[in-house]
Amino acid sequence: MGATDAPAGLFFVGVLLVYAAVILVFGVVFKSGSVIPVSRRRPEAVNTTSGLTKLTDAAVGVINKRIGKRNGALVDRDGLESAGLKIQPADFLLMMGAGAVVGAVVGFFLGGPFPAVLLSVAVPAGMLAYLHVRTSRRRAKFDEQLPDTLQMLTGSMRAGHSLLRAIDASAKESDAPMSEELSRIVNETRIGRELAESMNDVAQRTGSEDFGWITQAIEIHREVGGDLAEVLDHVGETIRDRNQIKRQVQALSAEGRMSAAVLMGLPIVLFFALILINPQYAKTFTSTVPGYLMLGVSALMLTAGGFWLSRLVKAKY
């Protein structure tokens, strides 16, 4: 069923859903957290809350209550912090829901039920993929900054600063994400948390085994004593050697990773090219039961092949 065959009432409902999703994303989720509330700017003003704001606040509260502090959910606080996103899990889930609604409505009026289902699944999947890519890039940048940061730490300690003061100075001299993580260590330590616990949390949040070694070296030094700057220098040399080996492995496996990307993307690109070149021929896959079965089998085979290729090109060292 095309866009011209859709009833007027259904079209009206779809437009309302799109507007509601856009307002939900830009008016609630992307709302700046640094805005001074009206009660502080104008104490005499009456605080009025719209019905949409009450509805979204209630939805956020219910989702946060369901999620709680559990890890391993579809989107949790640890995953968002690893990606460097300073939003609540409920906000991100609402963004996914709004994106799914917009994708479903747009897909329905562009091509019917099949594109609607496809886009309603593709938009949340794309947001999760973006979260994964952002986390990977942030962790890679953190590992890249670690040797230089360690050198600044040792230089500050040789200049006579304490370890916490050296971490604070390194946080001010570094770029994100290193500056964010080091500043968080300093702030947590100042309010009474153990330094080792804060540093272990950073190692887990960034997935950095090298930073975990630094934490262990500092803990051992606090127990047995000695020259911490010299110990960290040796750890820094080890980290640089590991990074050099890692770059060599990535260069040697680049051809395999590129081949895997081409093999995974080629069927998908050809399918959409077929839709554009010969829509009548591609309609068999999008409007018949055998076509749905073939697409399902193809998706399963691509998933299995992608997993197999990812294991082949992932080097362990």
Residue 4: the pLDDT is: 44
Long-range Cβ contacts of 19-28 (<8 Å, 24+ apart): 20/98, 20/101, 21/98, 21/99, 21/101, 21/102, 22/98, 22/102, 23/52, 24/56, 24/94, 24/98, 25/95, 25/98, 25/99, 27/52, 28/53, 28/56, 28/60, 28/91, 28/94
Cβ distance 107 to 121 under 8 Å? no
Helix axes 89-111, 8-24, angle to 10 degrees: 150
Residue 176: the pLDDT is: 87
Hey, what are 160's tokens?
A: 């006579």
Per-residue tens of pLDDT for the chain, all 317 residues = 444 445 556 665 666 666 666 665 555 555 555 555 555 555 555 555 555 555 556 655 655 666 555 555 678 888 888 888 888 887 888 888 888 888 888 888 877 777 788 888 888 988 998 999 999 999 999 999 999 999 999 999 988 888 899 999 999 998 989 999 999 999 999 999 999 999 999 999 998 889 998 999 899 888 887 888 888 898 889 888 888 888 888 888 888 888 888 888 888 888 888 888 887 877 788 778 888 888 889 889 988 888 888 887 777 65
Residue 7: the pLDDT is: 58
Long-range Cβ contacts of 287-294 (<8 Å, 24+ apart): 287/112, 287/114
